[in-house]
Chains A and B, each alone.
Chain A
Amino acid sequence: MENKENKASENHTMLLILFWAYVLIPLGWGVFQTFKKALALFN
């Protein structure tokens, strides 16, 4: 019973991490592209 609960909790945490990664990876890519562009200002 406890094992089952632990497994469910693990799956839940994994889902949380994956879902955040799903939105943060493209956002991070976009921010990085813009940051590269912004660097031209300091060059």
Chain B
Amino acid sequence: MSGFFSRERITAGHGYNRWLIPPAALAVHLCIGQAYAFSVFNEPLTRVLGITASAPDDWKLTTLGWIYSLAIVFLGLSAAFGGKWLEQVGPRRTMFTAACLFGGGFLLSAIGIKTHQIWLIYLGYGVLGGCGLGLGYVSPVSTLIKWFPDHRGMATGMAIMGFGGGAMIGAPLGVALMKHFHSATSVGVMEAFTVMGVLYFISMVIGSLAIRIPPENWKPEGWTPPLASKKMVTLRHVHIDEALRTPQFYLLWLILCLNVTAGIGILGQASVMIQEMFKGSITPEAAAGFVGLLSLFNMGGRFVWSSASDYLGRQNTYFLFFALGTFLYSMLPSFSGEGNIVLFIAAAAVILSMYGGGFATIPAYLADIFGTKFVGGIHGRLLTAWSTAGVLGPVLVNYIREYQITHGVAKADAYTTTLYIMAGLLALGFVCNLLMKEVREKHYMQHDEVENGIE
């Protein structure tokens, strides 16, 4: 069995078509992206016993909120700790493990719903599913970068776009399955979890079976690798553990964290925010449409911006994110004050495209700075920034909003300070990006260390 997962077994032969790799990565990312759509289960899960309305013993929304939070925390932890393992065992074993954890997490949670044991759902979707998310997220990234040395940004953008798109499949699929299985004795969540667990397991296993790594010294036909490192794009490699000893790692950590915090700030509150800022003009249905539009821009931005970064350069792309983001965030209160819905929506859509773009461009930025050899593992460790932002963003927005409302600020104006703070965070990100320099000579691996593999 270990042979089946070994690097030798998944090393592609000469003439292998590299365009078979992105769909393998997408087969995994489209599944794990379901996590963004978990909220569709929250309300039905509050009626598991009462069916038509919540019974006294039914779970409360506050209890259920921990499921998603746990999943995001374990996403960060597993990506951070599993990254080095990924570099050792290769992408097939990691993707297969992710399939077992993510699919298994759904099935264990289905048992939790059936027996009405919340801890089984915490363990299933939260812990196991979260670990599946983390391992699944990082596993195809370094493989894609190695297959597409000429278009690193575009390659990782394709996979990470899948994570954004996964929610668009997961949400309507979950709703449709719950509707299908809904009966007088069941809200249909347990059955939906079972079906989704099996479907996602199969799809992720197909991805793991299809993944291949390029042969040693492989390069795309007709592409000549640069002979020397360019500015901010190295041809050498930094060891995964050594990367943690460089200031560049922490600057990139802050860059990701600040960009994600600012994006989550608007994404998590989008529906309520637009209704309160344009009171009377935006119905709840239109607000839901606004959230849908932002999701489309979030997904599209992942592919468009990361592909553009291949031409603009990684640092310049982030300069654009932070400069334009700061400007647009600080303009949102003015657009709201003037009642200009069109400009408000357009600005929010561009902000969200850059939020997605930030996620998708960071692996290529890491590869440029630390080399390609350990980029999967280093990316995994950097994803703790996402977990941090996942907690920081909503807390910041909710706390500031509540504070202002309790101090007499009108609801429509309560977001103004928050939006300026988000603009400030992006300005800070601009400074972090400005401080990015090449890694110092002492951190690079020597030629023989690279040849001997990793410890």
Which residues does chain B contribute within 8 Å of A23, judged by CB atoms?
A: 23, 26-27, 30, 162
Given contacts A23-B162, A40-B286, contact A35 B169 (CB under 8 A): no
Given contacts A29-B169, A33-B168, contact A41 B286 (CB under 8 A): yes
B299 at the interface (CB under 8 A from A): yes
Which residues does chain A contribute within 8 Å of B291, judged by CB atoms?
A: 37
Which residues does chain A contribute within 8 Å of B285, judged by CB atoms?
A: 40, 43
Question: Considering only CB atoms, which chain A residue lies closest to B341 in the complex?
Answer: A41
Docked complex: A1-43 residues within 8 A CB-CB of B:
12, 15-16, 19-20, 22-23, 26-27, 29-31, 33-35, 37-43
Given contacts A38-B296, A41-B345, contact A30 B169 (CB under 8 A): yes
Cβ-defined contact, B19 with A16, below 8 A: yes
B288 at the interface (CB under 8 A from A): yes
Cβ-defined contact, B20 with A15, below 8 A: yes
> Bound state CA distance, A38 and B172, in angstroms?
14
Which residues does chain A contribute within 8 Å of B289, judged by CB atoms?
A: 37-43
Interface centre among A27, A39, A41, A42 (most CB of B within 10 A): A41
Q: How many whole Å from B205's CB to the nearest CB in chain A?
A: 13
Cβ-defined contact, B23 with A20, below 8 A: yes
Question: Considering only CB atoms, which chain B residue lies closest to A43 in the complex?
Answer: B286
Docked complex: B382-425 residues within 8 A CB-CB of A:
none
Which residues does chain A contribute within 8 Å of B290, judged by CB atoms?
A: 38, 41
Cβ-defined contact, B296 with A31, below 8 A: yes
Q: How many whole Å from B49's CB to the nearest CB in chain A?
A: 30
Cβ-defined contact, A37 with B288, below 8 A: yes
Question: Considering only CB atoms, which chain A residue lies closest to B345 in the complex?
Answer: A41
Cβ-defined contact, B27 with A33, below 8 A: no
> Bound state CA distance, A7 and B166, in angstroms?
35
Cβ-defined contact, B17 with A16, below 8 A: yes
Question: Considering only CB atoms, which chain B residue lies closest to A35 in the complex?
Answer: B296
A-B contact pairs, 7 of them (CB 8 A): A16-B17, A16-B20, A34-B292, A34-B296, A41-B292, A42-B289, A43-B285
- Interface residues, chain A, with chain B CB atoms under 8 Å away: 12, 15-16, 19-20, 22-23, 26-27, 29-31, 33-35, 37-43
